[in-house]
Structure 1
Amino acid sequence: MTIEGNKDEAERCIEIAQNAFSIGNYEKAERFLMKAERLYPTARAKDLLTVVRAAIPSGTSKKTPPGTPDDVRRRKAPPPQAPQKEYSTEQLEAVRRINTKCKDYYEILGVSKEATDSDVKKAYKKLALQLHPDKNHAPGAVEAFKAIGNAAAVLTDPEKRKHYDLRGHEVPTQATHTHHQYYARGFESDLTAEELFNMFFGATAFPGAGPAAYTRRRAREPEQRDGHGGLVQLLPVVVLVLLSMMSGLFISEPVFSLTPTAKYPIPRETVNLKIPYYVKDNFHTDYQGSLRRLEMAIEEEYIGNLRHACQRERNYRDNMAWKARNFGDTNQYAEAQRMRMPSCEKLSKYQRDPYGK
């Protein structure tokens, strides 16, 4: 089996061990964690194995009869025991607050419903540094870290936040054990907790941490389905495809494009802001609408695209500067300050225009 194959199998063993541990089957959890260690040693498996062994009541762990080959090997070369990582009372309390006491995304991040986008991001950054599993080893830290990531992803998206305020907090579901589940249907983050963390802090905020270290996709357990169930599940997909095909019959193609293509080869320029755009060969004969309104829409779309691009450039520069200050890297900080932001420079040319304010 290849190294990658071992890694996948080890992850599957860890998931089985977690399920066994959650229902109190400590021996099974210990057995599968030891198997994961043999297949592909990871810090995660070692930490979980330490927690499982600590939870096994004394005198009940499964022992190997003396004189067996396994017993002889253990006596000759006892395996090294991973030290249990420590955590503070404050870290444990922060984890418990999120996992057991909070009822919605606002409580998770500790902000009010009137909090601005900046307030939400600031609260997330503070909690993320406190709860990241590389720094916080308290039980349940991984779940709490995922919860704040999902909360930040929803509350920083204007559309998702609007819908969540209307109905999201009304449908929290309970997880299978003691932890709350905050992923109300329709309000899940499209990113993993680690990917969201790296967007805010960069991949080097905690050296050695990778997206696969603490965030996993849904369990790969096979689901039992019958033939009729599969057809019923496919029915919504078929309906969506048909609706998409029908809607295409009633939606006309755009009149212009901001970039030249084979379909839009003719260059033009708006009268007001001199913004270039491109139209079809038959534009002069086929277009019957108001040219002034069309060019206003072109300028509005162009300025909107510049704003989004400028915001991304600023976020990237600010993240670089924050990391440089955090790690005391003066060279990287100077590089962040010198970084050019071409979209912001273009946008500044239109600041006096009504669309650019």
Structure 2
Amino acid sequence: MEASREEALRCVNLAKKYLSAGDYQKASKLADKSTRILPTSEAEDFKRYMAKERTSGKKEASAASTGSNNATSTMRERTPNASKSNDSSQTSYTREQVEIVQKITKLKAHEYYEILNLKKDCNDIEIKKSYRKLALQLHPDKNHAPNADEAFKKVSKAFQVLSDPNMKAHYDRTGLDPESRASASSSSFSERAGPGFQGFSAYPQANMSPEDLFNSFFGDQFFAGGPNTFFFGGPGVRVHQFGGRPRRFRRQRAEDTSNKSVFYQILPIIIIVIFAFLSNFSSLDGNTSVRAGYSFVPTEKYSAQYVSPNYKVPFYVNPKQYNSLSSRDSYRLANKIEQQYAEKVHAECIQEREYKENQIRKSYGWFFPDAEKLSRAKEIPLPRCDEFSRLSYHKPFSNYYYY
């Protein structure tokens, strides 16, 4: 009930802002929406006030029609039609906006400190303040100067690198874009995860688009009031209105990013399914036709429990099939099981780390992080990563097979 009342009052407050801007249609829709959510005295008072204002506005418009053409032109400038305002703002920009775009685009793509106007010894708070300022100045919905999109992308890239400790350290050491080598070396993650696993990106946030980074930094409510209204910090805080309709590039970016996000989420599952398929249906030895299935949980078919020799991983097999294997084949089966188990734990560890890093990133606010949320995020356990470290310490993955 309380949540419904808050939402109803929020609609009334938005309606008041649209009415003050001269947009009676949106104000009326929001007032009606507020009443549908929960009838309140505030909504009824506002509807009566809006009806009164609209009546007086019609009288003023009728009186103004007898004036000169100049007076009519002045009136239109003061109370512009919403669609005309949007069209004009779509192509208008200031000299200051052009200057800041030119300043950013003249810099080389990897001059991250210069792009954010920072010194090399800057701290995390200074990096965030600079990005916050430039991102708001260059966002495509506010800045319509030529090449503003390019400048916005450069600022986003610079912030991605300098805000990540591992990427920043790599950049300070080499002066190169960390992403250019991340896919090949995966140095940061490989050092933590252990030997034998390559090809995973060392920098999870490197795949974020400029729009994703912007929305993650400012919060999901940034576009809560529609494409022209920006909310900072939740209800009761300042509202900034940026003219113009959302650009086509943002919709395309959102679609591309959504597809990539879904793909990266299901990739570990695909790997596990493929590996399980190959493990169960490929022969254990090129010189034998014996095949033996297994499971990590007991089933009616796989009821006999065994433990792998190195990792001590329990697995279940068909006793008849398993007893028909030679000692060499049973040892190879155990090694295959350990390899699949390690792959499975590794994929789950990656998901745990990504979730924890995302929670830590969300705990940062406008100027300072939420200490309580940050503390909780940092204390999130990583049981599958602990298990993966145990496997890494116990035995190098390069020695899975013995022939």
TM category, shorter:
0.3 to 0.5
Name the structure, 1 or 2, with higher relative contact order (CA <8 Å, separation 6+). 2
Higher helix share: 2
**Structure of larger gyration radius:** 2
